[in-house]
Amino acid sequence: MSEVNRMLGKVDELAVQTDTHAIPFNIGETIKVVDGPFNGFNGTVEKINEEKRKLEVMVTIFGRKTPLELSYAS
């Protein structure tokens, strides 16, 4: 029985570790878009949605600031 509890404990630890990935971005940080139609644009991180793994980034297009919602991988 103690071995089963030890195994279950390991599984619980792994589940917690996968949920606690560090977010590789900070609000106010300048980033470069590397994929999609806005590839090559620079923008500033305005919001971070950890649950959906998305960033709201403000980029300047034709002289106007435009918000983009981008996915990120850590």
pLDDT digit string, tens, across residues 11-45: 555 555 544 567 789 999 999 999 889 999 999 99
Q: pLDDT at position 72, please?
A: 84
Q: Answer whether 71's CB lies under 8 Å from 54's CB.
A: yes
What is the C-alpha separation between 26 and 29, in angstroms, rounded? 6
- Mean of all residue pLDDT scores within the chain: 81
What is the distance between the alpha carbons of residues 63 and 61, in angstroms, rounded to a whole number? Answer: 5
Q: Residue range 58-70: average pLDDT? A: 94
Q: Is 36 left (phi over 0), alpha (psi -120 to 50) or beta?
A: left
